[in-house]
Amino acid sequence: MEKPTQFELNDAIQRWRENVSKSPALRAEDRAELESHLRDSIKQLEAKGLSTEEAFLIARRRLGSSDALEVEFGKLNWKTIWAERAAWMIAGSLLIGCLSSLNSGLASLAGLLASGLALPRHTVGLFTAGTNLALFIITVPLTWRFLISGSRSLGTIAVRVREHPFLIAAAVAALTILSIALSMGFGFLRMYGAQYGAQDVGTLTLWQQASALFVQAMAWPVALAWVLQRMARKNKAAPSPTRRC
């Protein structure tokens, strides 16, 4: 059963470190200190005649589970935890703003194009609103997918951000600029469309705004509920003791 040649201590420690890195409760320095402890403990156990793999497993167990460590360190580092939560909330709301202005901008562009086809005014309006909702239905799950699935899970992103805190600052700045640029860009396009004889830009804008309002008031809560439900299902699949301080 024993395969001492296949056990690579540094890889095992690397995996352990990635596992404890998932929590903001432990700072980089705390992880380094725990790793130093783990290596001391492994050395001691090896000196007693255990194989490296056995020594690693016992040392890791004696150190405590990452959940237990998270709880104890969390009591001390609660400021870090809340600062990170706040940063994520700000980044999230900016992302929502970005998606909203992208969608409603694209919808009004579609409306402008449709108005060139000399359709009845309210058909154009409904078309604009429909495009807005359709874009929402397409882009939000896609963004969610992109953030959550595969190797780019939020946890991995969080670990990267924790190592380079300026990443999140850069992301927030980029999102803000993108959001403003998008709404300005589409504003210009609307003006341009009005100049070149798109019919009744007033009604069009009104429909566009109404549909954006509808999407924001109705579709976002539905999307959030969907996300929360998915998360709840995921948590049920992999039970973990309640953490947080």
Partner 1 sequence: MLSKELVAASTVPLVLSILTEGENYGYALIQRVQELSETRIQWSEGMLYPVLHWMEQEGLIKSDWREAESGRKRKYYRLCKEGKKVLQTEKEQWTTVHTALTKLWKNQPSLN
Is residue 28 involved in binding partner 1 (CB under 8 A)? no
Give the DSSP H or E segment for 225.
helix 220-237
> What does the alpha-carbon distance between residue 26 and residue 63 come to, in Å, rounded to a whole number?
14
Q: Which is nearer to partner 1, 11 or 29 (CB)?
A: 29
Is residue 54 involved in binding partner 1 (CB under 8 A)? no
Contact segment (CB under 8 A) with partner 1 among 50-58, 63-71, 82-90, 225-233 equals 63-71
Residue 207: name the closest of 120, 129, 101 by CA.
129
For the bound state, the minimum distance from the C-beta of residue 64 to partner 1, rounded and expressed in Å, comes to: 4
Residue from 69, 182, 198, 215 that binds partner 1 (CB under 8 A)? 69
108 and 191 Cβ atoms separated by less than 8 Å = no
Is residue 63 involved in binding partner 1 (CB under 8 A)? yes
Is residue 50 involved in binding partner 1 (CB under 8 A)? no
The SS3 call for residue 141 is: helix
Say what angle helices 201-214 and 121-148 make with each other, to 10 degrees.
40
Q: Which is nearer to partner 1, 17 or 148 (CB)?
A: 17
> What does the alpha-carbon distance between residue 200 and residue 140 come to, in Å, rounded to a whole number?
31
Cα angle: 91, vertex 93, 96; to 5 degrees: 110
Is residue 76 involved in binding partner 1 (CB under 8 A)? yes
The count of other CB atoms within 10 Å of the CB of residue 190 is 20
Is residue 62 involved in binding partner 1 (CB under 8 A)? yes
Q: Which is nearer to partner 1, 33 or 200 (CB)?
A: 33
Is residue 73 involved in binding partner 1 (CB under 8 A)? yes
Is residue 40 involved in binding partner 1 (CB under 8 A)? yes
Residue from 3, 15, 75, 79 that binds partner 1 (CB under 8 A)? 75
DSSP state of 162: H
For the bound state, the minimum distance from the C-beta of residue 78 to partner 1, rounded and expressed in Å, comes to: 12
For the bound state, the minimum distance from the C-beta of residue 14 to partner 1, rounded and expressed in Å, comes to: 16
> CA torsion sign, 115 to 119 to 122 to 123?
negative
110 and 186 Cβ atoms separated by less than 8 Å = no
Query: Residue 155 corresponds to which tokens in the numbers above?
Result: 């946890």
Is residue 72 involved in binding partner 1 (CB under 8 A)? yes
Is residue 37 involved in binding partner 1 (CB under 8 A)? yes
Enumerate binding residues for partner 1 (CB under 8 A): 29-30, 32-34, 36-37, 39-41, 44, 62-64, 68-69, 72-73, 75-76
